[in-house]
């Protein structure tokens, strides 16, 4: 099993494809058709295009603060591709590739970053929780969903994401411990992009790796090259299969890098060197997967150029539709936080309505 070969204390990282798109461990390549890998790559490209367009729009003052995903596409798409139809995705706020893979449409994502409350409303058949900005709190929800699946006798597995900075939050340790004790069918994925806003991973913890935090919880863990689509798929698929068969939770550390800013309110040049960023650009997950697909003869540079143009145009068109929806209604902020509005919000809402009536 991969979790034994690349466990928390083994000092090794799972990598199937190197930064040039070459298979370094062909015997570990998951059994999938070329078309399936190509479709996953297309989702990575769509994620990058949508991400770039969101950055442009935010800089134009047409979108609110945005959290970029560039450089982390393989960690998101690879893991989401390994999920079954009925599985639950519990995200933080930087999982665009996973959202798109699991059926969240880009319009909904753009609505969220535009400030519209309906950006958190997903279709009933899409098992994805809304974006969660409070650091770490989503993991508790993920464990609860997984435990509910067990209690109901269902075979659904929950995949929950968190960033490297979030592993310093108490909710992270509590969620791992609770999941381990109750054997919850949940896979925790740390997107270790090396920085929690401006604080480097080295300043977050004395632990040599983040995945070794699985040891204290008594659960399996595996360190994975987060820029390797195949490795992320393989590790997540094994963890999901084990959870579905009653094997309990797994912690995966996806070792990746945030090529852009933490959010559009951040200036990463103040806390990291350009040389560091350049070194990671060589490891771009899209670059290596494209090289692999071209070598296999199922893709070309021309195919790539045309699809990027198509995705760029689609992203802009989708945002124009969002923009045409108008400004967010203040009453929506009151109405859609709870199924039933609690008394303190009802009091504020009534005062707001009364104010509107008076000014009219």
Does 80 score more than 90 pLDDT? yes
User: What is the spatial distance between Cα 9 and Cα 211, in angstroms, rounded to a whole number?
Assistant: 9
User: What is the spatial distance between Cα 117 and Cα 234, in angstroms, rounded to a whole number?
Assistant: 36
Pair 110, 149: CB distance under 8 Å: no
359 versus 20: the higher-pLDDT residue is: 20
Has 355 been annotated as catalytic?
no
How is residue 91 written in tokens?
Answer: 């995200």
Does 98 score more than 90 pLDDT? yes
Fold of 2-328: Rossmann fold (3.40.50)
From the candidates 102, 108, 258, 288, give the one annotated as an active-site residue.
258
What is the secondary structure of 46-77 as a DSSP string? HHHHHHHHHHHHHHTTSS------TT-HHHHH
CA-only gyration radius of the chain, Å: 21
Mean pLDDT calculated for residue range 226-235: 98
Half-sphere exposure (Cβ direction) of 296: Cα atoms closer than 13 Å: 16
Mean pLDDT calculated for residue range 137-151: 97
Mean pLDDT calculated for residue range 268-288: 97
- pLDDT-derived band of residue 334, with 50, 70 and 90 as boundaries? confident
Q: Provide the percentage of residues in the chain whose pLDDT is more than 70.
A: 100
Mean pLDDT calculated for residue range 8-14: 94
From the candidates 262, 288, 292, 311, give the one annotated as an active-site residue.
262
pLDDT of residue 253: 98
CB atoms within 10 A of CB 238: 21
What is the secondary structure of 279-335 as a DSSP string? HHHTT-HHHHHHHHHHHHTS--HHHHHHHHHHHHHHHHHHHHHHHHT-SPPHHHHHH
Mean pLDDT calculated for residue range 104-118: 94
* Domain assignments of the chain as residue spans, ordered by start: 2-328, 329-360
From the candidates 59, 271, 305, 336, give the one annotated as an active-site residue.
271
Pair 241, 173: CB distance under 8 Å: no
User: What residues contact 310, with CB distance under 8 A and at least 6 apart?
Assistant: none
Q: What is the pLDDT of residues 29-41, one digit of tens each?
A: 999 999 999 999 9
User: What is the spatial distance between Cα 41 and Cα 304, in angstroms, rounded to a whole number?
Assistant: 10
Of 111-120, 263-272, 330-339, give the lowest mean pLDDT range: 330-339
Alpha carbon 203 to its chain centroid, in Å, reads: 23
Q: What is the pLDDT of residues 148-161, one digit of tens each?
A: 999 999 999 999 99
Mean pLDDT calculated for residue range 262-277: 96
Has 102 been annotated as catalytic?
no
123 versus 174: the higher-pLDDT residue is: 174
Has 112 been annotated as catalytic?
no
pLDDT of residue 325: 87
Average model confidence (pLDDT) across the chain: 96
Mean pLDDT calculated for residue range 98-115: 96
SS (H, E, C) 77-118: HHHHHCCCCCCEEECCCCCHHHHHHCCCCHHHHHHHHHCCHH
Mean pLDDT calculated for residue range 190-209: 95
pLDDT of residue 356: 86
- pLDDT-derived band of residue 337, with 50, 70 and 90 as boundaries? confident
Pair 291, 227: CB distance under 8 Å: no
pLDDT of residue 331: 83
pLDDT of residue 24: 98
What is the secondary structure of 214-226 as a DSSP string? HHHHT--EEEEET
Does 27 score more than 90 pLDDT? yes
């Amino acid at each position: 099993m991969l979790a034994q070969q690349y466990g928390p204390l083994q000092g090794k990282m799972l990598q199937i494809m190197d930064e040039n798109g070459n298979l370094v461990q062909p015997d570990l390549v998951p059994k999938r058709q070329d078309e399936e890998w190509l479709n996953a790559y297309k989702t990575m490209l769509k994620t990058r295009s949508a991400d770039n367009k969101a950055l442009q729009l935010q800089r134009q003052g047409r979108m609110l603060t945005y959290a970029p995903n560039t450089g982390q596409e393989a960690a998101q798409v690879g893991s989401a591709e390994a999920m079954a139809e009925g599985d639950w995705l519990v995200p933080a706020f930087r999982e665009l590739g996973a959202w798109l893979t699991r059926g969240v449409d880009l319009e909904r994502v753009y609505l969220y970053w535009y400030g519209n409350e309906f950006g958190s409303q997903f279709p009933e058949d899409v098992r994805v929780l809304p974006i969660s900005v409070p650091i770490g709190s989503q993991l508790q929800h993920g464990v609860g969903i997984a435990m509910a699946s067990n209690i109901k006798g269902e075979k659904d597995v929950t995949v929950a994401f968190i960033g490297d900075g979030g592993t310093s939050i108490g909710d992270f340790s509590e969620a791992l411990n609770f999941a381990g004790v109750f054997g919850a069918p949940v896979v925790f994925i740390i997107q270790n992009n090396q920085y929690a806003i401006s604080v480097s991973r080295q300043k977050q913890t004395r632990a040599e790796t983040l995945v070794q935090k699985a040891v204290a919880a008594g659960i399996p863990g595996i360190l994975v090259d987060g820029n390797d689509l195949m490795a992320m798929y393989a590790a997540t698929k094994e963890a999901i299969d084990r959870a579905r068969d009653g094997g309990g939770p797994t912690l995966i550390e996806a070792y990746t890098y945030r090529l852009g800013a933490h959010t559009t309110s951040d200036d990463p040049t103040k806390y990291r060197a350009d040389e560091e960023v350049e070194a990671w650009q060589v490891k771009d997950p899209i670059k290596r997967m494209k090289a692999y697909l071209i070598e296999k003869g199922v893709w070309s540079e021309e195919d790539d150029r045309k699809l990027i143009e198509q995705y760029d145009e689609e992203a802009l068109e989708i945002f124009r539709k969002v923009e045409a929806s108008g400004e967010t209604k203040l009453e929506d902020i009151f109405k859609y936080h709870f199924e039933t509005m609690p008394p303190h919000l009802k009091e504020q809402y009534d005062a707001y309505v009364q104010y509107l009536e008076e000014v009219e």
